[in-house]
Amino acid sequence: MRTAAYGDRSDNAEYREAKSALRNAHSQIAGTEDRLRRAVLINPDKNSGIVQIGSVVTLESDGVEKTYEIVGSLETNPGSGRISNNSPIGEAVLGKKIGSRIIIKTPKGEKEYHVTLIK
């Protein structure tokens, strides 16, 4: 080991730091492996007409349409339209049908949306 060259390991700050980094890496690996073991593949019923995890939903507000894919919290990427089912919009649209009206509370007040398309 490179840090062994610095002398007695019990007094070696570099060695302790490297061991701490290794423990952190092992902890992250264990957490990822656990999530993978518990992962469940979700195949949304595309013909249900109801928003669920995995659905792509188009919302209209004030004449502007936005499309979102509803995903689990570990898969989010709001910049590309993938929002969590736990987000305010995600929670509000789950279980809704085309034509449903939803109201989201935002820092600027309430915002009304209409579900216009579900895929």
Q: Mean pLDDT throughout 42-53? A: 80
pLDDT of residue 42: 72
Please say whether the beta carbons of 94 and 52 come within 8 A: yes
Q: Point out the least confidently predicted range of 22-31, 37-46, 48-57.
A: 37-46
pTM: 0.67
Mean pLDDT for all residues in the chain: 88
Could you give the CA distance from residue 78 to residue 71 in angstroms, rounded to a whole number? 10
Alpha-carbon distances of 63 from 10, 37, 89, 98, 102, rounded to whole Å: 67, 44, 18, 16, 15
**Co-location of 21 and 63 in the same domain:** no
pLDDT of residue 93: 96
Q: In this structure, is residue 67 part of a structural domain?
A: yes
Could you give the CA distance from residue 100 to residue 57 in angstroms, rounded to a whole number? 12
Q: Which residues pair with 70 in a beta bridge?
A: 83
3-state SS class at 65:
strand
**Co-location of 66 and 108 in the same domain:** yes
pLDDT of residue 73: 87
Q: Mean pLDDT throughout 61-72? A: 94
**Co-location of 28 and 75 in the same domain:** no
**Co-location of 97 and 65 in the same domain:** yes
pLDDT of residue 51: 94
Q: Mean pLDDT throughout 79-92? A: 94
Kind of pairing between the strands at 109-118 and 101-106: antiparallel
Q: Point out the least confidently predicted range of 6-15, 45-54, 100-109.
A: 6-15
Contacts of 73 (CB under 8 A, 6+ apart): 84, 85, 86
Q: In this structure, is residue 80 part of a structural domain?
A: yes
